[in-house]
Structure 1
Amino acid sequence: MRDWTKQTFKPESATVLLVIVVFLSILNYFMLSLTLSIMLVSVIVVFTIAHLYHKYVTLDLVNKRKIIRVFPDESVTVPFNISGKSIVALFYGKLSFRLSNTVRLTNAQFEIERNEDTEYYLDVSSGRKDHHLHIQAKKRGRAVMRQIEIQVFDPLFIGNSSFLFKPFYGTEILILPKMTPVKGIEKLVTYQVGNQPNSHSYFQDPLLISGIRGYQHTDSFQQIHWKASARTGELQTKILEKTTHLKWTILLNVLEDQEYHSYSLSFSRNLENHISHIAYLLQIAEKQGISVELFVNILAKNHFQLLHLEEGAGKEHVIRGLELLARIDYSSATLKPERFLKRVESKLAGSFCVILCGITKQEVLKTTSDKRIHTLPYYELQASDEGGALLRC
């Protein structure tokens, strides 16, 4: 019971029962009636059972760390495992909790909608341990059950106990963003030597050996081909295959100037569209084997103190990216664009190109001092409800 805060209530029925006990005791004192005595003992037994039930009732809630991923308009069933016991095994209870308005519980008995979340009520009186929450995703975001409270009634409904769950509930529902197509993406995924700028030019893959040649004094020690050297009697150097390294760096600015107050910033009205377009870019990059790194000017606890998707590629990387986008919240602490660009300046030089969302190339060049950054190709992601467009800038 360390996870629960317990409070026992004595409703009017318990008060009435206590008054009856006192009245019957006084009446029986003068009348000495067997019937009154039996009634008195019966009422006392009932009162005692109810009291002991609430005194010894305990609850157990399975609380494991779990992430459930869904897209908007999809439905999912979330298990909720709770057990209760006292001097008798059965218990009658009502469950209440709050959920973000990014989702909706479809099998609730009663609900109260608020500004940012909804309070739901469910009946858990069946005595079963396993209950199921039928949840429908409404829009991108994150939903976690909060203020979990269970009211337990004794079998005679004389009193009730309230249990408030103290720890953070580990089941997290992430509503991943929709992937909205972006026009002009072919400019970034069609790579032809001499036709696309690439700050890294060519790299060599140490696992791909195309041949050998005679050793030169400028060659690295690690490039010596020892087997070939032993066979020929002279030092031989590996000739490695050249590979192209493509990397997109995406900068997402979640803020914009307010319409009537240029000195004040608020969350962008195009933020949801930007997020949907970035989700699409992540999917395209995964298909093309392109590495992606994403920075968002929302404060977080890491090296950059920013919401950051580290450079990577592949399906797992896409999932991490979609999860990061799902966690973007309008109540998060943010960083002004100028300070945001200063923090990411050191990571821009190693990119194949930079994709700007909610920020302009002029702002980047004005804020950064590294000349290598100024020569990079920049693309601005223009967002709308119909679809996005990548424009060279």
Structure 2
Amino acid sequence: MQWKKIVIEDRFLSILAFLGFLLLIASFYINSWLMFGAGLMILFIAGGNTYYLKHIGEGLLFDNERKRNRFFIGDKGEWTLQFLNQGLPIMKGNLSIYFDSAVVPFSGEYHIHSSKVDVSLPFSVGQKEKITITIPFVAEKRGLSKIRKIELHIPHFFGFGDTILEFTDVINMEALVYPKTIAVQNMDKHKSVKPGHNPSFFSLFEDNMGPIGTRDYLPTDSFNRINWKASARKMVLQTKEYERINEAGAVLFVNISDGYSVTSKLEFLMSSTAEMAYYFHRRNIPFSLCMNIRSAGFTPFTYLPLGSGKDHLQKLLDLLAMADFHSPTIPYEQLLFFYKRHLPIAPTMIHAGIRTAGADAMIQEWKNAGVQLFELRSHNEQALLEPMNILLKDVAGK
């Protein structure tokens, strides 16, 4: 059952029906066809009104297709609602739609209450008719916007009551608005100095599995790097060139908590984290996200495994868009402890948010293991990436 129905009848209707019944009886005593017709007409109106209110909406179907659209702030989109009516015609109805205020209509009248947008539209549909209602909107701020509620108010033709239909199923329409990025300074400082498998122009290590070309021989080149076939072809000694590689990969640890609530700098954290993800994506550097928002499953927090590519970036942006001030959190120390026990360590760790003394004790172990540690800081509304400094006395005291 898609709809919950509430029928509201005017009390005057009962009085009118009783009056019609009295006129009908009185017409037999005074033998008046006029009074008989008036009473019969009143009873017909009252009965028809009751029947209409109780049966209207039966056969009204809403196409609850799962849709998730993604937007950047300022983009335009629309909610598309499709209805099929297989029951009585619905005339002069009023459709109310409630959705989250991450998107707002860019035309028409609407109201916002408790971060929910309320839009009302006229609604009429004939029998066996299919209609489509569109609500254009503009993405106003980062967040997840869902259609939370659909209500249809249907008045009777004669005004003796209303029928209210409330859609009871979860509505599968969502609009994700990605965060607006802010520049993060010193992003290039995260480069690793260890051997690995990722190409790098600045690495000291080379992939010796196969040369990528040759160049003219230099006196400082090793004798075993000479490519004899190329040297014979060019009649000049040629040296093999190998691709330079290093270890790459970064984990973004984001602490959105501030005590027992969500930090007031949530938008700063989401915007700067998105910028760092774009940086890694452009340079094909694998990246991962750990955010202390509670999650169901094996990993008790929001976690995106190490990866790269366009789809991987989209998954991270989806997670950033869904974080809000009502997100359930877990202690940041619990996140770090679980990660250390169960998940692979990347060569670079970037911390964002409040860093607690309890977290420093576990972070120090990664530092001892050779992991590069960086911290995202805010300075004059700008984001700055700096090497993480851990006070040893705090760690020892813990």
Scaled to the shorter chain, the TM-score interval is 0.7 to 0.9
TM-score (norm 2): 0.77
Within the candidate set 160, 180, 183, 1:181 is matched to 183
- AA aligned to 1:68 is N
**2:296 counterpart of 1:290:** no
> Which has the higher mean CA deviation after the structures are superposed, 365-374 or 131-140?
365-374
> Which has the higher mean CA deviation after the structures are superposed, 75-84 or 174-183?
75-84
TM-score (norm 1): 0.78
CA separation of 1:45 and 1:136: change in aligned 2, threshold 3 A = same
1:319 aligned residue: 314
Q: Is contact 2:101–2:115 with CA below 8 Å preserved after alignment?
A: yes
CA distance in 1, matches of 2:166, 2:94: 12
CA distance in 1, matches of 2:154, 2:77: 27
1:233 aligned residue: none
Q: CA deviation at 1:35?
A: 2.4
- AA aligned to 2:94 is K
Q: CA deviation at 1:101?
A: 3.0
- AA aligned to 1:49 is G
RMSD value, Cα: 3.0
1:149 aligned residue: 151
1:49 aligned residue: 48
CA separation of 1:27 and 1:136: change in aligned 2, threshold 3 A = farther
- AA aligned to 2:141 is K
1:72 aligned residue: 73
Q: CA deviation at 1:126?
A: 5.9
CA separation of 1:372 and 1:71: change in aligned 2, threshold 3 A = same
CA distance in 2, matches of 1:384, 1:270: 12
Q: CA deviation at 1:278?
A: 0.7
Q: CA deviation at 1:152?
A: 2.1
Q: CA deviation at 1:305?
A: 0.6
1:202 aligned residue: 196
1:117 aligned residue: 116
CA separation of 1:371 and 1:391: change in aligned 2, threshold 3 A = closer
Task: Name structure 2 gaps, 5 residues minimum.
Answer: 200-207, 212-241, 389-398
1:91 aligned residue: 91
Q: Is contact 2:378–2:384 with CA below 8 Å preserved after alignment?
A: yes
- Count residues in correspondence: 345
Within the candidate set 135, 157, 168, 2:170 is matched to 168
CA separation of 1:385 and 1:3: change in aligned 2, threshold 3 A = farther
1:237 aligned residue: none
Q: Superposition pairs for residues 297-336 of structure 1, below 5 Å?
A: 297-336=292-331
Identity score, percent: 20
> What secondary structure does 2:294 align onto?
coil
1:133 aligned residue: 135
2:334 aligned residue: 339
Q: CA deviation at 1:13?
A: 5.3
CA separation of 1:187 and 1:267: change in aligned 2, threshold 3 A = same
Task: Name structure 1 gaps, 5 residues minimum.
Answer: 212-239, 257-263
Q: Is contact 1:209–1:241 with CA below 8 Å preserved after alignment?
A: no
- AA aligned to 1:18 is A
> Which has the higher mean CA deviation after the structures are superposed, 37-46 or 179-188?
37-46
1:352 aligned residue: 347
CA distance in 1, matches of 2:342, 2:285: 17
CA distance in 2, matches of 1:49, 1:14: 11
- AA aligned to 2:96 is S
Q: CA deviation at 1:349?
A: 5.8
**2:28 counterpart of 1:3:** no
2:216 aligned residue: none
- AA aligned to 2:283 is Q
Q: Is contact 2:90–2:154 with CA below 8 Å preserved after alignment?
A: no
CA separation of 1:384 and 1:151: change in aligned 2, threshold 3 A = farther
Q: CA deviation at 1:185?
A: 1.5
- AA aligned to 2:325 is Y
- AA aligned to 1:255 is S
- AA aligned to 1:339 is Q
Q: Is contact 1:355–1:378 with CA below 8 Å preserved after alignment?
A: yes
Q: Is contact 1:365–1:374 with CA below 8 Å preserved after alignment?
A: no
Q: CA deviation at 1:242?
A: 8.1
> What secondary structure does 1:145 align onto?
strand
> What secondary structure does 1:355 align onto?
strand
1:25 aligned residue: 24
CA distance in 2, matches of 1:160, 1:19: 20
> What secondary structure does 1:99 align onto?
strand
Q: CA deviation at 1:163?
A: 1.5
> Which has the higher mean CA deviation after the structures are superposed, 328-337 or 292-301?
328-337
Q: Superposition pairs for residues 208-247 of structure 1, below 5 Å?
A: 210=210, 244-247=246-249
CA separation of 1:203 and 1:86: change in aligned 2, threshold 3 A = closer
CA separation of 1:369 and 1:388: change in aligned 2, threshold 3 A = closer
Q: Is contact 1:92–1:152 with CA below 8 Å preserved after alignment?
A: yes
